[in-house]
A and B are shown apart, each in its own frame.
Chain A
């Protein structure tokens, strides 16, 4: 290979490495530079609610201090390694032995103590801000109950029970309407984490906790369970819909209604016959078999099981199985037929229904809007 092509080759190689590095570094710095456009919907540096904001501010301070410490010590380390290496023409004598220095020791004890003091004070302030907040009169009250592997959400004051998808109104800083969430657990430990809205708080049985969020902008905020709770911990996802006050009120109104069985829009179940018959057949399957042991449907006299999610307004949700699959008729049918195809280890058993019952049941559930 000629000299020139080798140089070009190595320059191109270096350029390629540089490009790869830039592609890696740029998204990272973009995240820091443009917090309003998160490179991830769960970026802790893109806060959209007061607790997350406070934490973000504190984290910048803490990062700045620790970065300064790192740069200082790292520079000294590199300097020492370069300057005090054994040189080529060394005479072989040992260098002067220095056993210690009280002044130096004092200096690098006092300065870290001061740094720790500053960090602690800044931290204590934010702890108080977030933990000591009391619910103002306009706040929304939610009770979240963690289950293996789904979220139960109740609005006690508004008499609404739903699952996995939390709806809250956006909070105007001038007239705040935060949402205060009480955290309980029905079985093992879980943790509620929606990074853009707040730090996480655990749900521990026999140990009620509480947290609050006051999202400033409407939108969908994602999160998931953050405390290992069993086999399907990974698919216990969270969706928080922050809506305008009007949208939220409308949603509440709809959720407060009992299930009304309207004829399905399209008969997607592939069965011949009157769709209304299929739906009624599906309702019979639901109410006369084991489904009602675990699931509740408001308006259905004997469907009041609490072990699984409330299904009264199942079709108002975008996902099923705590976010494990989009809420489509195909997925719903598959979920009922064989939950382990979507979420192996989930506590919903395969119901062993024949195809006819399965289609009817799906058609019925499709009417629960």
Chain B
């Protein structure tokens, strides 16, 4: 053939200048890239938030310690809480949702790609604004100070007389800005899931991941708004002479609490429901069985979403509500344990009769089940208002919610990392390093947060920069602090794994876990357009149908 005689030059890979590549990422509207940016941003702030926690724990390792001053300590717990909730957990959740939802429902991108990018940059700017407070809050008067009013910013501590300067304003404005970003992402998720599913994928045939993120999106819209409203009111009080929370003018400090917790409680469901979504994808694949009770799982999640909006005042049992008021919130809080328990049982039933593989994602999922069970039960304990009259504002509460957020949500997200990293990068994370990460973090987590319950039971309040000797708290605080270093080691191993595997990990291929949802039908990583041809599906597990043509799911659904 004539082409044989022509010497083709060796093809050179196109190498573009760094500025070009950075520009591409900065201006991207591709859901996959935005998802990665959310996740990387969150990981950076996870490390910073972890440093803040470590500083606090070193200060509390013994009574009357002077590692940091009370002013610094109070800034640490405020910044740690605000950072972890708004700039670690939410971006992680939004990042995974952004990356995976279009792939799972057979779409090419989210419903509003430019809104998607705008929302990311709002959130990123919010985080930067919060941390700028360290430099800028005091203006010209010297070293800046960050907010120190606690992440709930209770009135009237946030009023001008008690919080002069601008530290509180940094808290307010950074969350206001990133709150608008969250609303944009929520609108995007809802519109994407409702309007962009591929043919054949009715709502009843969507992956649970998509369903649960839909519920999360609706919750975000209904709960970030109250926080936005309350923060606008706070700004009006501080700068326009308003009296919303001005007790001297007849205003109410309690109404701030109501508004904040109407946001604050459902917010934790905003964080945990996507964690449930990850678990609902991982457990079936590593048990080699379909999820048990798909319709009930959806119904239970929707129930949780609704009930979560009616439990908020269980954060206010000590505020002096009437017995009837207290009783109502006891009932609603205990009631939410029912659909939550149902979900745990369904995951257990999914594993039952299966063939469980203890790959790293499944290790994290099993630990999640164990830890979330405990966390839920300590929640039920506190739901009993008189018991909460002892436990509120103590280290028991701190232990409980870290059990949920770290032991539940973070463990589930770690599992999600190990599960979907091959799809995102095309490489497997190192299984050995993953095991090391898991065990270090597991040991550290339990050292810290198991023993943290005890000082609460022995009368230790939270948010104190030091404590008195002779109250029996010393040994427990020591153990809690030691656990922090194991967790830090685990996180370092994890970050090392992420980086090392990106360059040297085993190639993953399209479907390394032999899974069943649509994202595993694309290449790893997927092309920019996700799907060359929009797929058509007939069941909840389209790849199962393809792999088992004799026994497809749509026969049984």
Indicate whether A and B are direct neighbours in the complex (CB within 8 Å): yes
Q: Which of A10-25 contact B (CB under 8 A)?
A: 24
The verdict on A123 contacting B330 (CB below 8 Å), with A204-B319, A234-B467 known, is yes
Task: Determine if B471 and A201 form an interchain contact, defined as CB atoms under 8 angstroms apart.
Answer: no
| Chief secondary structure at chain A's binding surface | mixed
Chain A CB within 8 A of B228 CB: no
* Contact pattern, A 187-198, Cβ under 8 Å of B = 1, otherwise 0: 111010101001
A230 to B355, CA, bound (A): 55
A31 to B16, CA, bound (A): 68
The interface residues of chain A lying within 8 Å CB-to-CB of B344 are 73
A232 to B73, CA, bound (A): 11
The verdict on A85 contacting B338 (CB below 8 Å), with A40-B472, A206-B251 known, is no
* Contact pattern, A 48-90, Cβ under 8 Å of B = 1, otherwise 0: 0000101100110011001001100110110011001111001
Chain A CB within 8 A of B254 CB: yes
Task: Determine if B162 and A98 form an interchain contact, defined as CB atoms under 8 angstroms apart.
Answer: no
* Contact pattern, A 108-141, Cβ under 8 Å of B = 1, otherwise 0: 1100110010011011101110111000000000
Q: Which of B453-499 contact A (CB under 8 A)?
A: 454, 457-468, 470-473, 475, 479
Task: Determine if A237 and B468 form an interchain contact, defined as CB atoms under 8 angstroms apart.
Answer: yes
Task: Determine if B357 and A95 form an interchain contact, defined as CB atoms under 8 angstroms apart.
Answer: no
Task: Determine if B345 and A84 form an interchain contact, defined as CB atoms under 8 angstroms apart.
Answer: no
Interface size class of B (residues with CB under 8 A): 35 or more
Task: Determine if B366 and A81 form an interchain contact, defined as CB atoms under 8 angstroms apart.
Answer: yes
A237 to B478, CA, bound (A): 22
Chain B CB within 8 A of A356 CB: no
Measured CB to CB, the nearest residue on chain A to B357 is A86
Interface size class of A (residues with CB under 8 A): 35 or more
Chain A CB within 8 A of B293 CB: yes
Task: Determine if A95 and B387 form an interchain contact, defined as CB atoms under 8 angstroms apart.
Answer: no
A97 to B387, CA, bound (A): 43
Task: Determine if B345 and A108 form an interchain contact, defined as CB atoms under 8 angstroms apart.
Answer: yes
The interface residues of chain B lying within 8 Å CB-to-CB of A225 are 461
* Contact pattern, A 203-216, Cβ under 8 Å of B = 1, otherwise 0: 01111011000000
Chain B CB within 8 A of A278 CB: no
The verdict on A112 contacting B341 (CB below 8 Å), with A59-B381, A206-B250 known, is yes
Chain A CB within 8 A of B323 CB: yes
The verdict on A124 contacting B454 (CB below 8 Å), with A40-B459, A69-B377, A77-B369 known, is no
The interface residues of chain B lying within 8 Å CB-to-CB of A223 are 459
Chain A CB within 8 A of B115 CB: no
A28 to B358, CA, bound (A): 34
The interface residues of chain A lying within 8 Å CB-to-CB of B517 are none
Task: Determine if B366 and A226 form an interchain contact, defined as CB atoms under 8 angstroms apart.
Answer: no
Stretch at the interface among A99-107, A173-181, A247-255: A99-107
CB distance from B132 to the nearest CB of A (A): 22
Chain A CB within 8 A of B278 CB: no
* Contact pattern, B 69-103, Cβ under 8 Å of A = 1, otherwise 0: 11100100000000000000000000000000000
Q: Which of B244-287 contact A (CB under 8 A)?
A: 247-248, 250-254, 287
The interface residues of chain B lying within 8 Å CB-to-CB of A222 are 459, 468, 471
Task: Determine if A200 and B157 form an interchain contact, defined as CB atoms under 8 angstroms apart.
Answer: no
Chain B CB within 8 A of A256 CB: no
Looking at A39, A81, A191, the one whose CB has the most chain B CB atoms below 10 A away is A81
The interface residues of chain B lying within 8 Å CB-to-CB of A77 are 348, 366, 369-370, 373
Looking at A193, A202, A228, the one whose CB has the most chain B CB atoms below 10 A away is A228
The interface residues of chain B lying within 8 Å CB-to-CB of A40 are 458-459, 471-473
Chain A CB within 8 A of B326 CB: yes
A158 to B479, CA, bound (A): 48
Chain A CB within 8 A of B404 CB: no
Task: Determine if B390 and A188 form an interchain contact, defined as CB atoms under 8 angstroms apart.
Answer: no
Task: Determine if B386 and A130 form an interchain contact, defined as CB atoms under 8 angstroms apart.
Answer: yes
Chain B CB within 8 A of A94 CB: yes
A210 to B464, CA, bound (A): 25
Chain B CB within 8 A of A219 CB: no
The interface residues of chain B lying within 8 Å CB-to-CB of A63 are 381
Q: Which of A258-311 contact B (CB under 8 A)?
A: none
Looking at B369, B383, B384, B475, the one whose CB has the most chain A CB atoms below 10 A away is B384
CB distance from A189 to the nearest CB of B (A): 6
The interface residues of chain A lying within 8 Å CB-to-CB of B55 are none
Chain A CB within 8 A of B289 CB: yes
Measured CB to CB, the nearest residue on chain B to A187 is B162
The interface residues of chain B lying within 8 Å CB-to-CB of A95 are 288-289, 353-355
Task: Determine if B387 and A62 form an interchain contact, defined as CB atoms under 8 angstroms apart.
Answer: yes
Measured CB to CB, the nearest residue on chain B to A148 is B162
Interface residue from B69, B351, B374, B479 paired with A80 (Cβ < 8 Å): B351
CB distance from B215 to the nearest CB of A (A): 19
Interface residue from B253, B357, B366, B390 paired with A206 (Cβ < 8 Å): B253
Task: Determine if B70 and A234 form an interchain contact, defined as CB atoms under 8 angstroms apart.
Answer: yes
A96 to B340, CA, bound (A): 26
Task: Determine if B253 and A80 form an interchain contact, defined as CB atoms under 8 angstroms apart.
Answer: no
Chain B CB within 8 A of A229 CB: yes
Chain B CB within 8 A of A365 CB: no
A77 to B366, CA, bound (A): 8
A226 to B459, CA, bound (A): 9
Chain A CB within 8 A of B295 CB: yes
* Contact pattern, B 328-353, Cβ under 8 Å of A = 1, otherwise 0: 00110011011001101110110111
Chain B CB within 8 A of A45 CB: yes
Interface residue from A90, A98, A119, A209 paired with B380 (Cβ < 8 Å): A119
Chain B CB within 8 A of A43 CB: yes
Report, nearest first, the 6 A-B pairs whose CB atoms are least far apart.
A199-B389, A42-B459, A40-B472, A234-B464, A206-B247, A209-B320
Could you pull out 18 A-B pairs where Cβ atoms are within 8 angstroms? Answer: A24-B479, A27-B472, A41-B470, A42-B458, A44-B459, A59-B384, A73-B373, A85-B357, A86-B355, A95-B289, A98-B349, A112-B342, A120-B330, A124-B330, A188-B156, A202-B319, A207-B253, A209-B320
| Additional A-B contact list (10), CB under 8 Å, known A40-B472, A123-B387, A227-B154 | A28-B454, A55-B390, A59-B384, A123-B386, A131-B322, A183-B320, A188-B156, A200-B392, A205-B253, A223-B459
Show the binding face of B for A, using Cβ within 8 Å: 69-71, 74, 148, 150, 154, 156-157, 162, 247-248, 250-254, 287-290, 292-296, 318-320, 322-323, 326-327, 330-331, 334-335, 337-338, 341-342, 344-346, 348-349, 351-358, 366, 369-370, 373-374, 377-378, 380-381, 383-394, 454, 457-468, 470-473, 475, 479, 548, 553, 556-557
